[in-house]
Amino acid sequence: MSGIAAQEKIMLSQRPYGVQSGAAVAANQTALNVQGQGSATLPNSQAVVTSSETKILNALTLAALVASLPAGEIPDSVEFDLYVSGYIKATASGTIALGLYADALTTVTAGNCLHKTASAPTQGIGTYIFKIHAHLTISAYSGLIEGSCGGYAAETIDPEITNTNFPAVTLTNNPVANFSLSLTSSGAAAATPTTITVTNFSLG
């Protein structure tokens, strides 16, 4: 294993907050995606068969695929990171856009959208990797989720920009916040599905 690969493996192992596969967690850590959502096994795949924006579901429960932030895990007004990565397989060419939402809903709610792929790049037939990286802060003073987000999809950089919306949160709720994903693929249809596979969805 190269030094870079080993370092990446260590970094991933130090992110305890994300969709859980049933692996053990430390006694003082709350496993995410177990509070009302059930545990998903990553990688988690979903075939999208419509060109409309579609929320990504937990393949085991058919609830939204969610990463949750438990109460008391992130100090007030301290920045934390949200990481998403995986790959998208298209069977027809078209534009794609990934969405990051501050909710646990299976339907698209525009006011909860933190970020969407800005450039809507064109993805040809084939399989391409994607990633989302958000820098977020939750504050009792503002009562909002604030920050910025960017990523990469279809061999195209999605520049980091300020969040589209700033949804309200309450720090005494548990979880404090849920995060979910969506995919829009203009070429997706029943005969030409676009399959998204999420391999990492974590907070740290």
pLDDT in tens, 5-42: 444 443 443 444 555 433 333 333 334 443 333 345 79
Confidence band of 176 (pLDDT split at 50, 70, 90): very high
- pLDDT, tens digit (0-9, with 9 covering 90-100), for 113-165: 999 998 789 999 999 999 999 999 999 899 999 999 999 999 999 999 999 99
> Alpha-carbon distance 181 to 108, whole Å?
9
Answer for the pair 162, 148: CB distance below 8 angstroms, yes or no.
yes
- pLDDT, tens digit (0-9, with 9 covering 90-100), for 181-198: 999 999 999 999 999 999
> Alpha-carbon distance 187 to 105, whole Å?
24
Token pair in block for residue 133: 């990286």
Q: What is the per-residue pLDDT for 19? A: 53
Specify the amino acid at residue 93: S
Q: What is the per-residue pLDDT for 119? A: 78
CA angle 75-80-84, nearest 5°?
145
Q: What is the per-residue pLDDT for 6? A: 43
* Average pLDDT score over residue span 172-180: 94
* Average pLDDT score over residue span 43-60: 97
Q: What is the per-residue pLDDT for 41? A: 77
Residues forming a β-bridge with 153: 130, 156
For 52, 74, 82, 184, the CA distances from 79, given in Å and listed in that order, are 33, 8, 10, 29
Q: What is the per-residue pLDDT for 28? A: 38
Q: What is the per-residue pLDDT for 120? A: 82
> Over 50: is that where the pLDDT of 95 sits?
yes
User: Among 86, 36, 31, 80, which residue's Cα sits nearest to residue 56?
Assistant: 86
pTM equals: 0.82
Q: What is the per-residue pLDDT for 118? A: 83
> Alpha-carbon distance 96 to 52, whole Å?
11
For 69, 81, 139, 176, the CA distances from 172, given in Å and listed in that order, are 12, 20, 11, 7
Q: What is the per-residue pLDDT for 178? A: 96
Instruction: Note down the domain range covering 144.
Output: 3-22+30-203
Answer for the pair 42, 201: CB distance below 8 angstroms, yes or no.
yes
> Alpha-carbon distance 93 to 90, whole Å?
7
What's the structural domain count of the chain?
A: 1
Residue 114 CB coordination number (10 Å): 25
Token pair in block for residue 17: 């907050």
- Reduced to 3 states, what is the DSSP secondary structure of residue 130? strand
User: Among 193, 198, 187, 158, which residue's Cα sits nearest to residue 95?
Assistant: 187
